[in-house]
Structure 1
């Protein structure tokens, strides 16, 4: 099924990252940034519905903005001042309307890794 999906794994606690807000933006012509959706990860660290479905897909640049500072704050990490990583921005160029784009994010309070999954 063509779509844009994501999931987040918390490497510090060895579990899926539940309750993380994820915003999705689309960059159209002229580089204007338009918010197209917002979701929150479920108990499995995944969004329950595709962030962008095949019907909504447009070729172009997308930004996924993950609110991990709030997530780690709720786990009482980084309690001495602002979080080192508050929001993680992942910008990807998507061109194939029939493709399934899956973006896994591996997080800790101090770093992250992202890749194109399957």
Structure 2
């Protein structure tokens, strides 16, 4: 059984995983952001390590740094540079998977499995 907080990126414009994208995980408390972990997506669009080993109650933010990715894959006319996704967690849930579906003009996310 998977545990912790994980993510992956799919590029729907190119129809393939989003590789070599830097991702950071932050804990949000009132007006304070505390850095937890970071990683780079692999060729499958996934970060090889779990960003947070044990889920705790609270609000978190994943930040996807997509500007360099778009430049590397030569997507024209993109306007996204970073994508922050804030979400709440409940320690009663052992795993949160937050995928990012990405294009040059927009994105979508959901709670995965």
TM-score norm. by structure 1 comes to 0.88
State the match for 2:43 in structure 1: 43
Kept in 2, the 8 Å contact 1:67–1:88? The answer is yes
SS of residue matched to 1:72: helix
- Greater CA deviation, 98-107 or 41-50? 98-107
Structure 2: distance between partners of 1:77 and 1:44? 19
Instruction: Choose the corresponding residue for 2:57, options 52, 56, 59.
Output: 59
Matches within 5 A, 1:10-25: 10-25=11-26
State the match for 2:31 in structure 1: 31
State the match for 1:8 in structure 2: 9
Q: Post-superposition shift, 1:98?
A: 4.2
Instruction: Point out where structure 1 has 5 or more consecutive residues left out of the alignment.
Output: none
Structure 2: distance between partners of 1:12 and 1:98? 32
Instruction: Point out where structure 2 has 5 or more consecutive residues left out of the alignment.
Output: none
Deviations 1:16-47 (A, max 9, x none): 0010000111013x431111111000010000
* 2:96 aligned with 1:101: yes
Structure 1: distance between partners of 2:92 and 2:47? 20
